[in-house]
Amino acid sequence: MSETVITVGDRHIREVHREIQAAAEQGGHIVLKDARSRHNLGVALPAGANLHFEGSVGYYCGGLNNGATITVERNAGWGVGEAMASGDITVGGYAGMSCGASMLGGVVHVKGDAGPRCGVAMKGGDIIVEGKIGYLSGFMAHAGRIIALGGADDACADSLWGGEVWVAGPIKSLGVDSKAIEPRPDEVASIEELLRSRGINDASRDWKKIVSGEKLWHFESRDANAWLMI
Amino acid sequence: MCGIAGRILSASGNVGADLVDLMEAQRHRGADSTGFAVYGPPVDEGYIVRAMGLDRDALSADLESFLEIAREHGSDFLADPTWDNASTKHVSVRMRIKDPKDLGAFTRAADTISARLAVQSVGRSLEIIKDLGGAEDVSQKHNVRDMKGTHGLGHARLATESDVSPTASHPFWARPFADVAIVHNGQITDYFTWRDKLERAGYRFMTGNDSELIAVWISDQMSKGLTKEQALKKSITSIDGVFTYLISDTEGMGFAKDKFAMKPLVTVERNGELAAATEEQAVRKIYQGEVDIINYDGPSMMNSWLVDPVRQAA
Distance CA A160, CA A178 (A): 6
B240 and A230 within 8 Å at the Cβ level: the answer is yes
The pairing of beta strand B91-97 with beta strand B82-83 = antiparallel
Q: pLDDT at position B63, please? A: 98
Q: In chain A, what residues touch B261 (CB-CB under 8 Å)?
A: 97, 116, 134-136
ipTM of the complex: 0.90
- Given a contact cutoff of 8 angstroms between Cβ atoms, the answer to whether B106 and B232 are in contact is no
Q: What is the pLDDT of residues B293-305, one digit of tens each?
A: 999 999 999 999 9
- Please tell me if residue A230 touches chain B, with a CB cutoff of 8 Å: yes
Check residue A219 and give its pLDDT. 79
Scanning every residue of chain B, which has its alpha carbon at the shortest distance from the alpha carbon of A97? B297
- Kindly state the average pLDDT of the residues B238-249: 97
Domain boundaries, chain B: 3-42+127-313, 46-123
A22, A60, A93, A125, B288 from A30: Cα distances, Å: 11, 18, 20, 24, 22
* Contact (CB<8Å) B299/A116: yes
Rounded to a whole number of angstroms, the distance from the CA of A198 to the nearest CA of chain B is 26
Cα angle for residues A161, A164, A169 (degrees, 5° grid):
125
| The pLDDT value given to residue B314 | 41
Q: What is the pLDDT of residues B268-286, one digit of tens each?
A: 999 899 999 999 999 999 9
Q: How far apart are CA A70 and CA B72, in angstroms?
A: 68
Q: Which of residues 207-266 of B touch A (CB under 8 A)?
A: 240, 259, 261, 264
pLDDT tens across the length of chain A (230 residues): 689 999 999 999 999 999 999 999 998 999 999 999 999 999 999 999 999 999 999 999 999 999 999 999 999 999 999 999 999 999 999 999 999 999 999 999 999 999 999 999 999 999 999 999 999 999 999 999 999 999 999 999 999 999 999 999 999 999 999 999 999 999 999 999 999 999 998 777 899 999 999 988 887 878 777 666 54
Work out the minimum CA distance from B263 to partner chain A, whole angstroms.
10
DSSP state of A46: B
Tell me the pLDDT band of B179, cut-offs 50, 70 and 90: very high
B67-106 pLDDT, tens digit each: 999 999 999 999 999 999 999 999 999 999 999 999 999 9
Query: For residue A156, what is the DSSP state?
Result: B
Backbone dihedral region of A171: left (phi > 0), alpha (psi from -120 to 50 degrees) or beta?
beta
Question: Measured between beta carbons, which residues in chain B are less than 8 angstroms from residue A230?
Answer: 240
Find out if CATH 3.10.580.10 is the number for domain B46-123: no
- Would you tell me how many other CB atoms lie within 10 Å of the CB of residue A114? 34
CATH architecture designation of domain B3-42+127-313: 4-Layer Sandwich (3.60)
> What span, in angstroms and rounded, lies between the C-alpha atoms of A204 and A35?
36
Band the pLDDT of B15: cuts 50, 70, 90: very high
Percent of chain B with pLDDT over 90: 92
Mean pLDDT for B147-158 is 96
Cα–Cα distance measured from residue B150 to residue B13, given in angstroms and rounded to the nearest whole number: 6
With an 8 Å Cβ cutoff, is A115 touching chain B?
yes
- CATH code reported for the domain at A3-226: 2.160.20.60
Separation of alpha carbons A211 and A181, rounded Å: 7
Calpha distance B16→B18 (Å, rounded): 5
Residue B288 in contact with partner chain A when CB distance is under 8 A:
yes
Interface test with B, best of A37, A120, A139 (most B CBs within 10 A): A37
> What is the distance between the alpha carbons of residues B186 and B142, in angstroms, rounded to a whole number?
26
Encode B172-197: b = buried (16+ Cβ within 10 Å), e = exposed.
bbbbbbbbbbbbbbbbbbebeebbee
Which of A36, A135, A153 faces B281 most closely, judged by CB atoms?
A: A36
- Looking at chain B, the whole-number percentage of residues with pLDDT higher than 70 is 98
pLDDT reported for residue B309? 55
pLDDT higher than 70, residue B214: yes
Given CB atoms, is B293 within the 8 Å cutoff of chain A? yes
CA-CA distance, B167 to B160, in Å (whole number)?
A: 16
Interface test with A, best of B24, B291, B293, B294 (most A CBs within 10 A): B293
Domain boundaries, chain A: 3-226
